[in-house]
Amino acid sequence: MASDSWITTIRDSLYDRIPLTAAEVAILSTAAFQRLDRVQQLGFVSKVWPGAKHTRYEHAIGVLHLMRQALAALRRHDQQQLIDDEAAQTALAAALLHDVGHYPFSHAIEELGPPVLPHEEVGRQLVMSGELAEVLERVWGVSPERVANLIAPREPLSLADQLTRQLLSGPLDVDKLDYLPRDARHCNVPYGGVDVARLLDSLRIAQVEGRWRIVVADKGVSPLHSLMTARQEMFDNVYWHHTNRACMVMLQRAVQDALLAGAITAEELPRHDDFSLLERLSDPAMPASTRALIDRLRRRQLHKRAIEVSARATDLYNELSRLFYAPAARRALEIVLAERLAALTGEPVADWEILIDLPKPERWSTDVWVLFERPPLGFRRLMPWTEVVGLGDEDLLRYEQHRRLVRIVTTERLRQIVATRWQELLLPLIRPMFAALPLQRASYDSSAANGW
């Protein structure tokens, strides 16, 4: 972490100059990390904002840069010396490698669930074996298992690792602090603005209800609010944009059909980059539905919105939303909808022409505490952020529920008829199908991981 260990400097679109050590360059030079340079951070968003072609590679370097700053701020004020040099070095490695297991095209593929693993679990496997494990042990002098446990915890974490894990995944993690401004910059949208430097500089360690936690000093209250607002705005305007979502659900169904046909394996998927995956899914051995959807993605013949369902359509919205946790049932409903439409119109309808778009229900957390050096009258020295600003998780959840739409998307030729006849098409199918669905979340739901 010392400045005299830098061996090179890169130019970054957000931070200008980022110095790198020999150890960091060793990770950048691995095949697993180099793949990230061929995986766009935002997947299909560049079909709407052509400048949004930045990659997981540059995002990972940005997260490393912010982790350095966060650790420096914490350790300046860490009178208990809870985070030692080894814990800090382990956290830096985890920051650089936190997305190494990411699938191409953002999150669509991993939302299929088993046998597709969450990208954190894939990253854990990559870090613990092969080239990455060798670099971590020989060059970094840290335990691959400890790095992997920060990325995807399985074993109990030491106190130091509990603290640094909060910097990697949590309400104010460095992952969000990089991707929100970076995505906004490349999309050229006026959202995503966060006073990152002030927020990082406000980080402290304090005992909260008998447990050591990362908190923010009072000067971090406003920047933290800007982070949460930026996240809402970016989901609302960019990540949930209807064109991006249509592309994602087309890819999702193409991969799902290929998996079911045994034409591709779940283990193969995270080895691909954006280009190689589309090539693989275009292979003549792939199912016809997979090849048709990928061909349409390549030629920008995208599915269009036929129906949008808001949370105010309570029963329909809730029952369709449950399909997020049941990808097989969602696919089955899509196929039956195509069959019913063919029967209604007397025209052939391919079973991939009607798709259901279900954005992941987000976990909007405000579980941050604020430390006041001189608390105003009526405040305590240590208070939950929600009490300081008068907002809570329920406020963010309400916003998410009202802005997150469920969509039925179709090929252009079917759009109007589905839009006008959706009730006779959809409603008779809903309750019988959902009566058989379990209410609980599926086991693959990675609700602990909230990185985009």
Burial class of residue 334, CB neighbours in 10 A (0-12, 13-18, 19+): buried
Q: How far is CA 394 from the centre of its chain?
A: 21
Residues 105-112: what's their mean pLDDT? 93
The yes-or-no verdict on residue 442 having pLDDT over 50 is no
Six token digits for residue 348: 């052939």
Cα–Cα distance measured from residue 133 to residue 110, given in angstroms and rounded to the nearest whole number: 24
Beta strands (DSSP E) in 281-340 are 304-309
The domain defined by 3-240 folds into: Hypothetical protein af1432 (1.10.3210)
The yes-or-no verdict on residue 349 having pLDDT over 80 is yes
67-104 residue pLDDT tens: 999 999 999 998 889 999 999 999 999 999 999 999 99
52-70 residue pLDDT tens: 999 999 999 999 999 999 9
Q: Evaluate whether 441 touches 325 at the Cβ level (below 8 Å).
A: yes
What are the residue ranges spanned by the domains of the chain?
Answer: 3-240
Cα–Cα distance measured from residue 42 to residue 334, given in angstroms and rounded to the nearest whole number: 26
**What is the reported pTM?**
0.92
> What pLDDT does residue 2 have?
40
DSSP 373: S
Nearest CA among 170, 151, 110 for reference residue 364? 170
Cα–Cα distance measured from residue 302 to residue 342, given in angstroms and rounded to the nearest whole number: 20
Residues 335-360: what's their mean pLDDT? 96
User: Could you give the angle at the alpha carbon of 156 between the alpha carbons of 154 and 158, nearest 5°?
Assistant: 130
> What pLDDT does residue 327 have?
96
Cα–Cα distance measured from residue 198 to residue 389, given in angstroms and rounded to the nearest whole number: 18
> What pLDDT does residue 78 have?
87
The yes-or-no verdict on residue 168 having pLDDT over 90 is yes
> What pLDDT does residue 450 have?
37
> What pLDDT does residue 395 have?
81
Beta strands (DSSP E) in 177-238 are 203-208, 211-217
389-408 residue pLDDT tens: 988 778 878 888 888 999 99
* Helix boundaries (H) for 54-127: 56-76, 85-97, 119-127
184-203 residue pLDDT tens: 999 999 987 889 999 999 99
Cα–Cα distance measured from residue 58 to residue 179, given in angstroms and rounded to the nearest whole number: 10
> What pLDDT does residue 436 have?
63
Cα–Cα distance measured from residue 411 to residue 393, given in angstroms and rounded to the nearest whole number: 38
- Please report which confidence band the pLDDT of residue 437 belongs to, taking 50, 70 and 90 as the band edges: low
Q: Evaluate whether 140 touches 93 at the Cβ level (below 8 Å).
A: yes
The yes-or-no verdict on residue 293 having pLDDT over 50 is yes
Q: Supply the mean pLDDT for the chain.
A: 92
> What pLDDT does residue 452 have?
41
Nearest CA among 2, 41, 39 for reference residue 22? 2
The yes-or-no verdict on residue 449 having pLDDT over 70 is no
Beta strands (DSSP E) in 237-331 are 304-309
204-245 residue pLDDT tens: 999 999 999 999 999 999 999 999 889 999 999 999 999 999
